[in-house]
Structure 1
Amino acid sequence: MTTSLTLYDIPSTLPSKAWSPNIYKVRYVLNYKGLPHRTEWVEFPHIEELYKRLGAQASGTKPDGITPHYTLPLLHDHSTGALVSDSAAIARYLDKTYPETPSVIPKGTDTFHYAFNEGLLSHFRVAALWRLTLAKANSIMNPISEEYYRRTREASLLGGKRLEDAVPKGEEREREWAKLEEVFGKVDAWYGKGDRYVMGDVVSYADFTVSAWVMWFRTLFGEDSEEWKNVSAWHGGRWGALVKDLEKYETVL
């Protein structure tokens, strides 16, 4: 199969450069489908410039409902000219445009996937997640993106508090991890007993979404860290097993 796809991603100081859960969702899909593609790296402050250079529509609006908001992932399909942003929209586009590849949102499950994603995001909108991860994420940014990431996250997620000051310590840290484990427990309850994936034995976009978020802890804290060992063991080891099972689709091209 020949195709010409460019996935725009935000680099980090890590060996693979890749780190963003939202972009990993798309990388999972591309690799699962076996679609040849390449990654082009774009620092945070240059994302708006990229959109304007390519003539892509803004991915959304800022909280004022007016100002355009430019985010990654962005996929450029050079064979059709399509420019698609938002992980779920990209997955749907690839299913429709390349029907000969394995579907990630099978026919009849579009509404389910939309509801699943909304439910997942509603659970993940907890202070514990941001307090435990934002400073770590900021520490792997390249200098030009570090300033942007710090400024925007402190304003939008931490009420102006410094990233470092939001990091819980001691017993408070243990309580925040317990809150996060409880959140993942709610997601675990959505799975059928003994099922590997959300839809049973068939992998779908919902699984790539969950795995991308779980994998974030391995990316930020390290594979040998106590944090990752704990997360991967939660709920009978479901999360570590999921990430391991989908590891073959993580490759950065």
Structure 2
Amino acid sequence: MTIVLHELVGADEARPFSPHCWKVVMALAHKGLPFERKPVCFTQVPGVEGGVSKTVPVIRDGSQVVADSFMIAAYLEETYPDRPSLFGGDGGQAMARFVEAWSQSTLHAALNVIALHEIADRLAPEDQAYFRPSREARLGKTFEQIAERRQAEIEGFGAKLTPLRVMLKSQPWIGGSSPLFADYIVFGALQWARVVSSAPLLEAGDAVTDWFERCIDLHDGLGRAVAAAG
């Protein structure tokens, strides 16, 4: 049975950008499970699967509906234990929680500033009307105030990747010898930036850039199928 994935898009349905949805796309491909991607814009999210969640991703697997990217990954791991593991055991799942906390508190915090205006520009008018006030309320600042920090966040972004850069001296993936869900967590953040923003965040020759390029090529180039922002 094909799993249905509801994922966030802007005005162009062919350019899904949510970091959390990208985690699930990669997790489903990692498991080798057939899935159908259903595009959802911001103002459509409340109607997804009867309003089960205020956010996407949401999947439907037969009669099961699961929301939240980490909960979805845990569900896939438990439901399809015969497929390649997303965590490599309980310890790997617990460590992925740390990676998620680091990614969201450090990388997402910066990217919310860097890509804010570019995300808004890629939305349909009705979603733009929702997006600005919701993000200003979440961040506690106006778009104009947030924009004042953009250049500083761009210039400092590389330093935020130092833990990953140092780790990659010892192993090719966060998961060790092969990618795991922890890799997809960080990939989701950088793919979000790649799809929506033209800001120069990764440098050629950097270990993180090389790792990210390997991520984009995983699963028959699933990440690369969506072109980088111009």
Question: Pick from 70, 76, 79: which aligns with 1:97?
Answer: 79
Quick one: distance in 1 between partners of 2:164 and 2:9?
29
Match of 1:231, as an amino acid? L
Match status 1:235 vs 2:193: no
SS in 2 for 1:233: coil
**Which blocks of at least 5 consecutive residues in structure 1 are unaligned?**
59-69
Displacement of 1:165 in angstroms is 4.9
Instruction: Compute the displacement of 1:199 (Å).
Output: 2.3
Q: Which residue is 2:17 aligned to?
A: 19
- Structure 2 length as normaliser, TM-score? 0.85
Q: 2:113 touches 2:150 (CA, 8 Å); kept in 1?
A: no
Deviation at 1:192, TM superposition (A): 4.6
**For residues 179-198 of structure 1, what are the structure 2 equivalents within 5 Å?**
179-189=156-166, 191-198=167-174
Matching residue's letter, 1:235: D
Is 2:59 the partner of 1:75? yes
Q: CA deviation at 1:164?
A: 4.8
Paired-residue identity, %: 25
RMSD across aligned positions (CA): 2.4
How far apart in 2 are the matches of 1:147 and 1:101?
Answer: 42
Q: How big is the shift at 1:244?
A: 3.4
Count of residues paired in the alignment: 222
1:119 to 102, 116, 122: 102
Gaps of 5+ in 2: none
| Match runs of 1:158-169 below 5 Å | 159-161=140-142, 163-168=143-148
Q: Is the 8 A contact 1:232 1:240 kept in 2?
A: no
Mean Cα deviation higher: 140-149 or 237-246? 237-246
User: Displacement, 1:212?
Assistant: 1.2
CA distance in 2, matches of 1:239, 1:140: 27
AA aligned to 1:181 is G
Letter in 2 for 1:16: A
Match of 2:181 in 1: 205
Q: Deviations over 1:166-223 (max 9, x none)?
A: 324xxx754322221111123323x2524220122111001111111111222113xx
* Number of the residue aligned with 1:8: 6
State the TM-score, normalized to the length of structure 1: 0.78
- Deviations 1:96-154 (CA, angstroms, capped at 9, x unpaired): 1112221111213221111221222222354x432211111111112222211112111
- Partners of 1:187 and 1:50 in 2: CA distance: 35
Cα pair distance change 1:232/1:143, threshold 3 Å: farther
Counterpart residue number, 1:244? 216
Q: Displacement of 1:21 after TM fit? A: 0.9
The Cα of 1:234 is off from its aligned counterpart by 7.1
Amino acid corresponding to residue 11 of structure 1 in structure 2? V
Larger Rg, first or second structure (1 or 2):
1
Which residue does the alignment assign to 1:65? Answer: none
- 1:231 match: secondary structure: coil
Q: Given residue 77 of structure 2, which amino acid in structure 1 is its aligned partner?
A: D
2:178, 2:212 → 1: CA distance?
Answer: 18
